[in-house]
Amino acid sequence: MLPLTHELGLRGAEALSRAFGVDLTGKVQIDRSQKADLQCAAAMQLAKSLKQPPRALAEVLVKALAEHPAVRSTDIAGPGFVNVHLADGWLKDNVGQALSLRQIGVGQTVVIDYSSPNVAKPMHIAHIRSTIIGDAIKRVLRAVGYTVIADNHLGDWGTQFGKLIVAHRKWLDESAFAHSPVQELLRLYIMFTEQEKAQKIAIGKKVDGDADEDDDDAPPLLQEARAELVKLQQGDKENVALWKTFIDVSMREFERVYSRLDVSFDVVLGESFYNDKLANTVQLLLDKGLAEESEGAIVVRFDKARDGEAMAPLIVQKKDGGFLYGTTDIAGMLYRVEHWRASRVIIVTDDRQQLHFRQFFAACRQLGVRTSMEHVFFGLMRLAEGTISTREGNLIGLEALLDEAERRAAVVARECNSELTDSEVLEVGRVVGIGAVKYNDLSKDRTTLVTFTWDKALSLTGNTAPYLQYAYARIQSLMKKAAAAGVVPGALVSFEPTERVLVMTLLAFDDVVEQVALTSRPHALCEYLFELAAQFSTFWSELSVLKAEPEVRPGRLRLAQLTGDVLSSGLDLLGIGVLERM
RNA sequence: GCGCUCGUAGCUCAGCUGGAUAGAGUAUCGGCCUUCGAAGCCGGGUGUCGUAGGUUCGAAUCCUACCGAGCGCGCCA
C-alpha cells in the first residue's frame, strides 16, 4: 500500500500547494481508516497555518484524490476528514504487490549490536530479549536493502577475570569442567563471591558496600584477584591462556544456543577487541579538550547547552590508570563509524543502561560522530521470586527454557494431529516451541519490568507464533489439495467483504515492514501478522475455496496463497519458522 | 535529592510523531467439526485510559504538578 498512500499524499500536497500558493510537499499524510479505506486529516492540520477553513482545504483534497485510478470515491466528513474509498477493481488487480518491499536502505550500512552475553556465565532467560529483538531488527533492515553488520559485543574483558583466575586455581573441579565448563565457571564465580564475603565479615568490613575502596584492607582474595587481573592485562602467558580457555568454552555454549534460535552474527568483536584502542581514545578526548582530570580520574563532562541535557560525568579512565566500559564503548563507536562506515548504529540492551548510553552517545557527538546512534532498550526480566542474579545463582537457563518450550509444543502437536510421525512431532515441537518463545518477546514493546512465568512464555494459543504458523500450515494443506484437483491461483473474481478486508491488509505489509525498519520496533510486525492471520481465519471459516463455484476458485486460492506468502516472509523477518504440517 | 522507563478491561498487553464510538489476547458464558486442518471460527459483558490542571476545532497520545511502581546516578559491566 505504501506506493499508493505515498502517491496520494503527493497528489494531495501538490493540489493544496497550487491552490494556496505555498509549498506543502510532505505535509499531507494518508492513513488507513475504520470509516473508509483511507483517510486524510490534513485539511484540519493545515487550516490554521493557511488561514483557511478546513472545509475549503478538504474540497481541494477531495477533488485531487478522486482523480487517482485507485480511488472510487471521496467524501468529506465531520470537521474536515477526507475519506477515500478505493476501487475494487484496482485492489483486485494490485494485490500481487503485497510482497514487494521498498528498498529504503540501499547504500547505507547499519551496525547492530545485540545479545552480547558475558563470557564464563551461562546464558539465561534475561539474555533472550536482546538476542531475539536484535536478530529480528537485523533481518528487517536487510529486507529493505541496508547493508547490515550484526555484531556480538561479547563481555570478554573486565575485573571478573581476575576473580575467575584465582577461583580456577584454587577450587577447580576438573571433571565438572570437562563435562559442562560454563556451569563449572559459574560455580567458581559464586564460590569466589561467597568466600570474599566471608573474608570481609572476618575482617569486620561491611558486606554490602561493594565500593571496593582502594585498598590494603581489602579481603586477601580480592587483592589476589586484582593482582591476577594486572598480570592478565600485562600479557602474562598463563593467565592469557586461561582467559582464552574461558572464552572458547563459553563461545561453544553460546553457539549451541544461537544455532537453536537460528540467530547469527557477522562479527564477534568483544570488549577485548578494543583494548589496544582505549589509551588512544582517552588521549583523543584530552587532545580535543573534551575530557579533563578530576579527583585523579579522567572524565567527560556534559552540559545542557552543548549536549542537550546536564548529565553526570562519564569516567573514561580510573585513577589507577584502568579503563572502563564507557571507554570501550566510545572506542567501539569510533571503530564502527570509521571501519564500517556505518550511517546507523543500533545497540540492543535492557533499560538500566539508558543513562550510560546517553552519556556515551553525547561524548561521541562531541567527537564529531554524525552517525545516527540508537539505543533500543527493553524492560528487565525477573522471576516472581526476585531479580535474576548470577551471584545468587537463581537462573533459569536459556537452554532449559528452550527444552521446555519444545517439549510442550510437541505434546500439543501429538494431541492435535494424529497424522504426524514421531520425527514430525519432534520437528513441530522445535519450530513451534522456539517460535512461541521468540514471539512472546517480540510481540511486546513494553519497557517495564517483565516477570517471567512458564505459562506466559510458552503459551500456544491466542496471539502467539503458533497461531500464525497454524494459519500458514492450513494454507499449505489447501494448496496441496488444490494442486491435486488441478486448481491454480488466478485472478480475483468474487470480492466478499471478508476478501476485501484481507486484500487491504495484505497490501499494508510493506508499510509495516518499513515502519519497523525505521523505528526498530518489531512488535508492530507481530501485531500486523496476527491481524492478517485472524482475518484469514475468518475467511477460511466463512468462504469455501475448492468447494466454491468454479469461476471464483482461482481467485480465492490466490488470496490464500498470498496470505501464506506474507505470513511466511513476515515470520521469517522475525526469525520464526513455518511448517507445511503441524 | 536528581534523572530514566512506566501506570489503558480481572490478568497480559496494543493504541502514544494529536484525529471520528478506546482495541486484542486471556479468563468467563453460550453456539459451531458427516463439508478445504477446531492450535480454529461466531456471539455475549466489562474501562474514573493513575489523579488534577493546561495547550487545541479535537488529548489515552503533547505540557506542568502530584500519586504509585521499577530502575539508574564518578573510578563494576
* Model ipTM value: 0.96
* A128 C-beta less than 7 Å away from strand B: no
Is nucleic acid strand B under 7 Å from A536's C-beta?
A: no
Distance between CA atoms of A63 and A59, rounded to whole angstroms? 6
Establish whether the CB of A295 is closer than 7 Å to any nucleic acid atom in strand B.
yes
Q: What is the mean pLDDT of residues A50-61?
A: 91
The backbone torsions φ and ψ at residue A196, rounded to the nearest 5 degrees and listed phi first, read: -65, -40
Burial A113-125 (b: 16+ CB within 10 A, else e): bbbbbbbbbbbbb
Separation of A51 CA and B53 C1' (Å)? 30
- Which nt sits closest to A36, CA to C1'? B20
> With contact defined as beta carbons under 8 Å apart, do A85 and A549 qualify?
no
The grid coordinates of residue A11 equal: 497528489
A37 inside domain: yes
Tracing cell 552480547 back to the chain, one arrives at A116
Pairing of strands A30-32, A38-40: antiparallel
In a domain, A112, yes or no: no
- Predicted confidence at residue A396, as pLDDT, reads 82
A553-574 vs A465-485: helix crossing angle, rounded to 10: 140
Rounded to an integer, the average pLDDT of A546-565 is 96
**Which of A48, A64, A86 is a domain's end point?**
A86
Q: How far apart are CA A425 and CA A192, in angstroms?
A: 44
Q: Hey, what's the cell of A417?
A: 494431529
A496 assigned to some structural domain: yes
The CATH number given to whatever domain includes residue A490 is: 1.10.730.10
In a domain, A278, yes or no: no
Q: Pick out the nucleotide with least CA–C1' distance to A546.
A: B36
Strand B lies under 7 A from the Cβ of residue A294: yes
Q: What is the DSSP string of A20-49?
A: HTS--TT---EEE-SSSSEEE-HHHHHHHH
Confidence of residue A260 (pLDDT cuts 50, 70, 90): very high
In a domain, A171, yes or no: no
Residue A286 lies in a domain: no
A546 touches strand B (CB under 7 A): yes
**Chain segment A267-309, per-residue pLDDT in tens:** 999 999 999 999 999 999 999 999 999 999 999 999 888 888 8
Mean pLDDT calculated for residue range A218-237? 88
The predicted-structure confidence for A175-202, as pLDDT tens digits, reads as follows 999 999 999 999 999 899 888 888 878 8
Percent pLDDT > 70 in chain A is 97
Question: CB of residue A394 closer than 7 A to nucleic acid strand B?
Answer: no
Residue A211, pLDDT > 70, answer: no
Nearest amino-acid residue to B19, taking CA and C1': A41
Above 50 in pLDDT, residue A479? yes
DSSP string, A262-296: T---SB---GGGGGGGHHHHHHHHHHTT-EEEETT
Q: Is the CB of A75 under 7 A from strand B?
A: no
pLDDT band at A104 (very low <50, low <70, confident <90, very high): very high
Chain B: nucleotides below 7 Å from protein CB are: 3-7, 12-15, 17, 19-21, 24-27, 35-42, 57-58, 69-77
Query: For A547, which DSSP code?
Result: T
Among the three residues A29, A58, A86, which one is the final residue of a domain in this structure?
A86
Q: Is residue A349 part of a domain?
A: no
For the CA atoms of chain A, what is the radius of gyration? 29
Asked whether the predicted pLDDT for residue A217 surpasses 80, the reply is no
Helices (H), A267-397: 278-287, 304-307, 325-339, 354-366
In chain A, how many domains are there? 2
Distance from CA(A387) to C1'(B50), angstroms, rounded: 25
Statement: residue A386 has pLDDT above 80: no
Residues of A 400-419 whose CB lies less than 7 Å from any atom of strand B: 409, 412-413, 416-417
Q: Which residue is nearest to nucleotide B33 (CA to C1')?
A: A541
Report the distance separating Cα A107 and Cα A495, nearest Å.
Answer: 41
CA distances from A337 to A270, A284, A341, A345 (A): 17, 16, 5, 8
> What's A58's domain CATH number?
3.30.1360.70
Predicted local confidence at residue A216, as pLDDT: 59
| Model confidence pLDDT, tens digit, residues A488-522 | 999 999 999 999 999 999 999 999 999 999 999 99
Whole-number distance in Å between A409 CA and B41 C1': 22
Of A155, A158, A170, A186, nearest to A224 (Cα)?
A170
- Considering all CA atoms of chain A, what is the largest pairwise distance in Å, rounded to the nearest integer? 89
Nearest nucleotide from residue A425 CA, by C1' atom:
B39
Q: Tell me, what's the pLDDT at A392? A: 65
CA angle at A512 for the pair A444 and A507, rounded to the nearest 5°: 135
Q: Which of A199, A195, A197 has the alpha carbon at shortest distance from A170?
A: A195
For residue A9, report the phi and psi dihedrals to the nearest 5 degrees. Answer: -60, -40
What residue type is assigned to position A231 of the chain? Answer: K
Å between A37 CA and B42 C1'? 25
CA angle A228, A233, A238 (to 5 degrees): 60
Positions 144-183 of A with beta carbon below 7 A from strand B are 155, 157-160
Burial of A415 per CB tally in 10 Å (0-12, 13-18, 19+): exposed
Does the pLDDT value for residue A213 go beyond 70? no
Close Cβ partners of A195 (under 8 Å, ≥ 6 residues apart): A221
Nearest-CA residue relative to C1' of B6: A448
Q: Does the C-beta of A560 come within 7 A of strand B?
A: no
Per-residue pLDDT at A210: 44
Q: Are strands A71-77 and A297-300 parallel, antiparallel or unpaired?
A: unpaired
Q: Give the whole-angstrom CA distance, residue A400 versus residue A457.
A: 13
SS3 content of chain A, % helix, strand, coil (to 5): 55, 10, 30
Write the CA distances from A207 to A159, A162, A166, A218, integer angstroms.
Answer: 18, 20, 20, 11
End of a domain among A67, A86, A105?
A86
- Joined grid coordinates for residue A222: 580480592
Residue A44: is its pLDDT beyond 60? yes
Q: In which domain, by residue range, is A48 found? A: 2-86
Cβ(A151)–Cβ(A268) under 8 Å?
yes
CA distance A348 to A294: 31
pLDDT digits (tens, 9 = 90+) for A400-442: 999 999 999 999 999 999 999 999 999 999 999 999 999 999 9
Residue A334 inside a domain? The answer is no
